[in-house]
Structure 1
Amino acid sequence: MSDPLPVVEEDEYHRIIERNRHKIVKMINVNVFLDPLRTKGILSGDDAEEIQNSPIHITRKSKAGFFLDILQTKGDRGLEVFLEILEYELPQLFEEVTSKTAREPPQDYIKHRESVVMNWVYRLPEFAKDLQRDYDHNKDLRKKLKDMEEILKYAQDNNSFLEV
């Protein structure tokens, strides 16, 4: 990613998150943040799996709240990277919660985001078959349907990447 956010006083990132927790939970799709945070060493594979598969966090908002709880245990660097991703993914929300102007994402970030979106698009037929199989056996259907809705919404919101 490009230049880091400006240095802020200790715990300022925590205050930004807590002060704007409701807005953040309402707006984010946790799946967008997991890979970049793992790549930067902020989240472990176990953290990501716990966030993704926790049965008590069925709704997108409860999963987002749980994600923020875990992220806040990762210190200022974790929150700084989260805000950088937020800046590139949801610039309006970033500006609202930080009172800073969002920068354009660097080209390597855009290419990575496009590849993630296309990976999900290519996996949709497989995902639909899994859903049908699960529906037939009535296993975890609600969770899978919510996940599919989030994936489709994300793909629709970012359809400019698909118009090649």
Structure 2
Amino acid sequence: MTAIVHYKIPRSVLVVIHTPGLQVLLLRRADTAQEFWQSVTGSKDHEDETWLQTAAREVGEETGIDASAPGCRLTDWGLENVYTIYPEWQHRYAPGVWHNTERVLGLCVPAGTPVALSPREHTAYAWWDWREAARRCYSPSNAEAILMLPRFADAAVP
């Protein structure tokens, strides 16, 4: 009997979670030995899942934050990054898939919003000023998205 292999869909979200005061939430990955800080990321679960649905689901899974809670506002920034999948994660995708398209969104949350990490995915979290958060990001596309935050923040404040 042949096992069914479920590959990741090479379309994902990058969600910059921030407060109205531009404090940015970063998470430290559990599956790397280095200081790998990042925003919430994750792939679509199915082809019909919208970017907003994917973002809200991933935020909930990784941080425990409800993107639809009062005082929260999830916005699609209309930006996409296409990047080569890191070799150590290539096995998660179908053979011959080498690139991922990442949609950038922002989630404005009230200051003091509690965070409950998924220990399977992350070992720590921290809130930093947007400039410091960008400096600490492992991924260049994540850092670039955070540096764009001031352009999108006014529209995101509930």
Higher relative contact order (Cα pairs below 8 Å, separated by 6+ residues): 2
Tell me the TM-score range normalised by the shorter chain: under 0.3
Relative to the length of structure 2, the TM-score reads 0.27
* Between structures 1 and 2, the one with greater strand share: 2
For normalisation by structure 1, the TM-score amounts to 0.27
- Between Structure 1 and Structure 2, the one with more helix by share is 1
Which structure: larger Rg?
A: 1
